[in-house]
């Protein structure tokens, strides 16, 4: 029942309103060049735009959920409309008064049909209201972010959160977090974190939750506590736009994804049509697409199959290996600390490089995965 609930939620609802993987680490590992042909899972599209700064030949973004591809197509439309201020209002501030009018006058015609139908119904996500002041409080993960944001405000913690995000040293961050942390874990917060429905809204399937439960004596609650402590006391927050947007509902001009910086706008606009979206499964895309690929970016998608659907996991890896160029790079993250869930035939064909991923994983600004893996096809 939990699996069916998860699949029904992720099949058509907007789950991720922003990407939850650190592309700064990715680009160091991937070594993208102008002849790179990349295939990746779409998520919110932020990271595809980040990789585009390295000028690859093409990026194919694949997602079985049409809402995620519609989100990336809207970002592409804003680049094709050629207005950085409007891009910033929509995705930097996360709110645009008159968004519906601007959409119908200028953006709608730049969208493919399926994305147009999605935003015809949902462009109000960008219209701020007192209850929902930001796009980043929309979608299922955004609903959880809104609950957290509202609770922080009700407890009077929001000014301290802002001071922590703007701190100039780790010592200053730790000072504010140690004051905030005890007030985060009320009986309601603990109850909320332990609900399967909460994890589903965040895009965490049962298989991934089970991985976490096995690794941490206190289960998912212990994992989240440790993750938050490491993020807010162990790594600088001045450029951690992942947590800034979920805690505040917006980015700042000096703390945002690379695609939102004005100095990157022209380059990205000139390359924006190098990105194509495909609404299908990853395996089906690979099995029907001609040619081979130099890079495969799988996010934490492998965990979704893991022990629950090993036959689908094996099928996907066979498709990847069939379409991989010699020396192709495969990047993914996991809630598990090791690669035990990967089929044996994969490690016969791919050399993994923990000497590269382990030190970079420790610097990951998201901080909610147990491991990062880079495989190179032999």
Give the length of the chain.
378
Task: Return the higher-pLDDT residue of 261 and 368.
Answer: 261
pLDDT band at 7 (very low <50, low <70, confident <90, very high): low
∠ CA 147-362-140, rounded to 5°? 25
Residue 262 has pLDDT above 70, yes or no: yes
Give the tens place of pLDDT for each residue, 294-351: 999 999 988 878 667 889 999 999 999 999 999 999 999 998 888 888 999 999 999 9
Rounded to an integer, what distance in angstroms lies between the CA atom of residue 282 and that of residue 260? 28
Task: Return the higher-pLDDT residue of 12 and 372.
Answer: 372
Cα 68 → chain centroid: 11
Least reliable range by pLDDT among 13-27, 35-49, 154-168, 307-321:
307-321
pLDDT of residue 218: 78
Nearest to 54 by CA among 245, 297, 290, 287: 297
Contact predicate 246/136, CB 8 Å: yes
Beta strand segments in the chain, E:
37-41, 58-62, 275-278, 293-297, 324-334, 350-352, 371-377
Share above pLDDT 70 across residues of the chain, in percent, rounded to a whole number: 96
C-beta neighbour count of 260 within 10 angstroms? 22
CA atoms within 13 A on the CB side of 196: 13
Tell me how far CA of residue 110 lies from CA of 14, 72, 135, in angstroms: 20, 12, 21
Residue 3 has pLDDT above 70, yes or no: no
Nearest to 34 by CA among 56, 50, 53: 56
Residue 211 has pLDDT above 90, yes or no: no
Region class of 98: left (phi > 0), else alpha (psi between -120 and 50), else beta? left
Residue 208 has pLDDT above 70, yes or no: yes
pTM above 0.85? Answer: yes
Rounded to an integer, what distance in angstroms lies between the CA atom of residue 297 and that of residue 371? 15
Strand, helix or coil at 159?
helix
Average pLDDT, the chain: 92
Nearest to 78 by CA among 47, 101, 106: 106
Q: Which residues contact 178 (CB under 8 A, 6 or more apart)?
A: 233
Tell me how far CA of residue 117 lies from CA of 66, 69, 138, in angstroms: 10, 12, 18
Cα-atom radius of gyration of the chain, to the nearest Å?
20
Tell me how far CA of residue 216 lies from CA of 116, 135, 190, in angstroms: 44, 33, 15
Q: What is the DSSP string of 97-153?
A: TTHHHHIIIIIGGGS-HHHHHHHHHHGGGGS--SS---GGG-HHHHHHHHHHHHHHH
Most confident option among 112-126, 198-212, 216-230: 112-126
Phi, psi values for residue 342, rounded to 5°:
-80, 135
Share above pLDDT 90 across residues of the chain, in percent, rounded to a whole number: 78
Residue 28 has pLDDT above 90, yes or no: yes
Average pLDDT over residues 341-369: 94
Q: Which residues pair with 61 in a beta bridge?
A: 40, 277
Q: Which residues contact 324 (CB under 8 A, 6 or more apart)?
A: 292, 293, 296, 330, 377
pLDDT of residue 4: 55
Residue 39 has pLDDT above 70, yes or no: yes
pLDDT of residue 16: 95
Rounded to an integer, what distance in angstroms lies between the CA atom of residue 304 and that of residue 41? 13
pLDDT of residue 191: 73
pLDDT of residue 11: 53
Tokens of residue 58, six digits: 């093409």
Average pLDDT over residues 65-72: 97
Rounded to an integer, what distance in angstroms lies between the CA atom of residue 103 and that of residue 109? 9
């Amino acid at each position: 029942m939990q699996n069916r609930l998860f699949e029904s939620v992720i099949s058509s609802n907007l789950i991720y309103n922003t990407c939850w993987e650190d592309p700064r680490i990715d680009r160091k590992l991937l070594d993208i060049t102008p002849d790179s042909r990349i295939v990746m899972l779409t998520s919110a599209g932020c990271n595809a735009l980040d990789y585009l700064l390295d000028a690859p030949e093409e990026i194919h973004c694949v997602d079985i959920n049409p809402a995620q591809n519609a989100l990336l197509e809207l970002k592409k439309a804003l680049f094709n409309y050629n207005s950085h201020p409007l891009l910033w209002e929509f995705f930097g501030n996360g709110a645009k008064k008159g968004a519906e009018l601007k959409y119908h006058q200028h953006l709608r015609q730049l969208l493919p049909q399926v994305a147009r139908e999605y935003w015809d119904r949902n462009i109000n996500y960008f219209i701020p209201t007192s209850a929902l002041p930001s796009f980043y409080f929309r979608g299922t993960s955004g609903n959880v972010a809104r609950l957290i944001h509202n609770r922080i405000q009700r407890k009077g913690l929001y000014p301290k959160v802002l001071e922590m995000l703007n701190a100039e040293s780790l010592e200053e961050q730790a000072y504010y977090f140690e004051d905030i942390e005890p007030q985060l874990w009320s009986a309601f917060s603990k109850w909320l974190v332990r609900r399967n429905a909460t994890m589903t809204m965040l895009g965490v399937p049962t298989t991934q939750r089970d991985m976490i439960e096995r690794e941490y004596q206190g289960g998912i609650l212990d994992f989240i506590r440790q993750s938050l402590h490491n993020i807010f006391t162990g790594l600088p927050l001045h450029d951690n736009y992942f947590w800034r947007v979920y805690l505040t509902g917006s980015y700042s001009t000096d703390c945002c994804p690379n695609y939102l910086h004005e100095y990157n706008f022209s380059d990205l606009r000139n390359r924006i049509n190098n990105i194509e979206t495909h609404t299908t499964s990853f395996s089906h895309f690979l099995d029907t697409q001609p040619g081979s690929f130099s890079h495969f970016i799988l996010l934490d998608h492998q965990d979704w199959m893991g022990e629950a659907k090993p036959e689908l996991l094996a099928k996907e890896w066979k498709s990847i290996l069939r379409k991989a160029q010699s020396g192709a790079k495969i990047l993914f993250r996991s809630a598990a600390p090791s690669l035990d869930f990967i089929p044996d035939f994969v490690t016969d064909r791919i050399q993994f490089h923990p000497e590269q991923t382990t030190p970079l994983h420790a610097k990951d600004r998201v901080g909610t995965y147990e491991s990062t893996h880079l495989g190179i096809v032999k």
